[in-house]
């Protein structure tokens, strides 16, 4: 169990951070996920990969949290937007602006688009794994991801032109 925690704690945290945009909430949900994993570990039959199972537990934790709270999705905390010290100030500013815009556009996507997009693009999970996590088939995942990418590009281009 300790090895699973060490291996997957950061990816699960980043999954939640991508969904909520809030580091403190992501940490809380990560801890709840591993608490649930610890409670239900004896029920893990090995039919799915550990990664897939963990993300499915995480998704259930997020769904339960969302039902209890009317979810709002803030932008990332400013301290997480700092660039490397070696960058020129103009470069850091440009990176911060692009990251803020990217985050805003992601948060405005419909939740299923955002979740599939996040699992595929940032966590690099296979379509099959995402299908298991989402409780859908692979075709649904591919279509949803395609639509999410199109929507993201369209919204990003529109917002980029306005700012």
Model pLDDT, residue 88: 67
Nearest to 26, CA basis, from 37, 11, 39: 11
Query: Which region, left, alpha or beta, applies to residue 2 given φ > 0 means left and ψ of -120 to 50 means alpha?
Result: alpha
- Per residue in 71-107, pLDDT (tens digit) is 544 444 444 445 455 556 677 677 778 878 888 888 8
pTM for the whole structure: 0.62
Domains of the chain: 1-75 (1.10.1740), 88-162 (1.10.10.10)
């Amino acid at each position: 169990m300790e090895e699973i925690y060490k291996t997957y704690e950061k990816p699960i945290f980043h999954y939640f951070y991508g969904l909520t945009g809030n580091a403190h909430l992501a940490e809380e949900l990560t801890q709840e996920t591993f608490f649930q994993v610890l409670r239900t570990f004896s029920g893990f039959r090995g039919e799915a990969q550990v990664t897939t199972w963990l993300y499915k537990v995480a998704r259930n934790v997020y769904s339960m949290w969302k039902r209890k709270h009317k979810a709002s999705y803030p932008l990332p905390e400013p301290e997480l937007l700092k660039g490397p010290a070696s960058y020129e100030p103009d470069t850091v500013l440009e990176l911060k602006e692009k990251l803020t815009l990217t985050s805003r556009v992601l948060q405005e996507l419909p939740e299923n688009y955002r979740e599939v997009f996040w699992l595929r693009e940032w966590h690099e999970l296979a379509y099959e794994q995402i299908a298991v996590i989402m409780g859908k088939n692979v075709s649904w995942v591919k279509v949803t991801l395609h639509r999410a990418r199109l929507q993201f590009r369209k919204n990003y281009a529109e917002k980029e032109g306005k700012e």
